[in-house]
Structure 1
Amino acid sequence: MRTALSLDPASDPIAALYRDHHGWLHTWLRKKLGCSHQAADIAQDTFVRVMGSRAQSSDTACWAESHAYLTTVARNLVVDHWRRQELERAYLAAIALLPEPEAPSPETRLLILESLLRIDKCLAALPAVTRRIFLRSQLDGLIYADIATEMELSLATVKRHMSRAFLACLQAA
C-alpha cells in the first residue's frame, strides 16, 4: 500500500530530511564537483530521488536518520553526471573532426547526445559478459562465431547474450 506524501512540512519526514541535511549535502557536492550550481542541481536531484523511493516504500526509518542514504544517492548521481560529461566530450570531439557541411545542427546534436546517454545507461546495466559480447559484435564487427571462439563460449551462449542486449536496447528506446 502506498502512503501519500504529507502536505504539512512539520510532519513530513522528507521535509525534515531536506531541512536537516540539504546544507551539508550541498557543501559535500560542491567539494566533489567544484561548482556550486552543479552541486545545487545534484542536491535537488538527490532529494527528488529520495521522494520517489519514499513513494514506493513507507519504511523511511532506514534512511531518514543518517547521511549514508543521501550520500549514496548523491554519489550515484555524481557518477552519472561525470559519465554524461565524458560521453558529451567524446561526442563533441568526434563531430569536431567532421567537415562543416556534415556537422549536425545543434538540435540534432542534442538528440544524438540524448540517444547516446540512453544507450550508455542501457549498456552499463548489462552484465559485463553480455556488454562485452554486444560491443565486440556491434563496434568491432565480429560475427557471433568469432566472439564465441575468442571468449571460449558456445555459439548458443553468445546468441543468448546478444538477445538480452538487443532486448535491453529496445526497452531503452
Structure 2
Amino acid sequence: MPATLAAFPNDFSFPSMPDRPPTRSVETLYGDHHGWLLGWLRRKLGHAGDAADLAQDTFVRVLGRPGDVEEVREPRAWLTTIAHGLVVDHVRRRTLERACMEAIAALPEPQAPSPETQLLLVEALVRIDTMLDGLPPKARSAFLLSRLDGLGYAEIAQRLNVSLSSVEKYMATAIRHCLALR
C-alpha cells in the first residue's frame, strides 16, 4: 500500500532514516550564517541575484552532508570553502558562455546561428563543462587539448610535459568519465 503524507511526522524526518542527525543544527547554521554568507558572496560576485543563488546552493550542499554540520568548529570557514568552489564553477561557466557568445557575434551575419541555436550551443557547452568537472586537472587538459584544439597525443604529451602513456591514460579516464555521465 503506498504511503500517504499522514504516514510521515510533521517534522519531515523519515522513519527509514533513524540515524539521521536532527536538522536543528542545519537550521541553526542557516539562521546564524546565511546573511553573512550572502554578503560575502555579493562582495565576491558583485550581483545580488547570483549571490542569492549561490548561497542557496551552498546550503543545499550542506543539507547533503548533515552529519558534517555538528563536527564543524569554524562554520564560516566551512561555508566559505563550499561557496568558493561554487563561485569558481559559476565564474568558469559565465566565462565559457561569454566566450561562446563573443565567438558567435564575430561570425559574419549569414553564418551567425539563430538565437535559438545560440542558446542550444551555450547549454551544450555548459553541460560539457559540467561533465568535465569531476576529472583530475591533467585528464581534463588532455581531453580539451585533444577534442577542442585537435592536438594529437604526442603534442599533448609535450604541452603537458608528460609521457605518451600518461596522455593515453588521461584520455581513457576522461572518456570513461564522460560515458558514465551519459
Do Structure 1 and Structure 2 share a fold, with TM-score over 0.5? yes
1:61–1:140 CA distance, 2 compared to 1 (3 A): same
1:4–1:97 CA distance, 2 compared to 1 (3 A): same
One-letter amino acid of the structure 2 residue matched with residue 30 of structure 1 = R
Per-residue CA deviations over 1:129-153 (Å, capped at 9, x if unaligned) read: 3233323322332333454566452
TM-score calculated relative to the size of structure 1: 0.78
* Percent identical: 51
- Is 2:57 the counterpart of 1:45? yes
Name the CA distance, whole Å, in 2 between partners of 1:17 and 1:149. Answer: 48
Quick check: which one's helix share is greater? 1
How many residues of Structure 1 are paired with residues of Structure 2 in the alignment?
165
1:24: which partner in 2? 36
Q: How far apart are residue 5 of structure 1 and its match? A: 7.6
2:126: which partner in 1? 117
Unpaired runs of 5+ residues, structure 2, are 1-15
Name the CA distance, whole Å, in 1 between partners of 2:158 and 2:87. Answer: 38
Q: How far apart are residue 19 of structure 1 and its match? A: 1.0
Q: How far apart are residue 70 of structure 1 and its match? A: 0.9
Q: How far apart are residue 59 of structure 1 and its match? A: 4.1
Name the CA distance, whole Å, in 1 between partners of 2:43 and 2:156. Answer: 44
Out of 15, 24, 27, the residue aligned to residue 27 of structure 2 is 15
Name the CA distance, whole Å, in 1 between partners of 2:81 and 2:36. Answer: 14
Alpha carbons 2:62, 2:69 under 8 Å: kept: no
TM-score calculated relative to the size of structure 2: 0.74
Name the CA distance, whole Å, in 2 between partners of 1:172 and 1:94. Answer: 28
One-letter amino acid of the structure 2 residue matched with residue 153 of structure 1 = S
1:153: which partner in 2? 163
Name the CA distance, whole Å, in 2 between partners of 1:110 and 1:64. Answer: 44
Q: How far apart are residue 92 of structure 1 and its match? A: 0.3
Q: How far apart are residue 86 of structure 1 and its match? A: 0.7
1:33: which partner in 2? 45
Out of 86, 90, 94, the residue aligned to residue 77 of structure 1 is 86
1:166: which partner in 2? 175
1:104–1:61 CA distance, 2 compared to 1 (3 A): same
Q: How far apart are residue 124 of structure 1 and its match? A: 4.5
Name the CA distance, whole Å, in 1 between partners of 2:94 and 2:51. Answer: 15
1:62: which partner in 2? 71
1:137–1:96 CA distance, 2 compared to 1 (3 A): same
Name the CA distance, whole Å, in 2 between partners of 1:90 and 1:121. Answer: 16
One-letter amino acid of the structure 1 residue matched with residue 35 of structure 2 = G
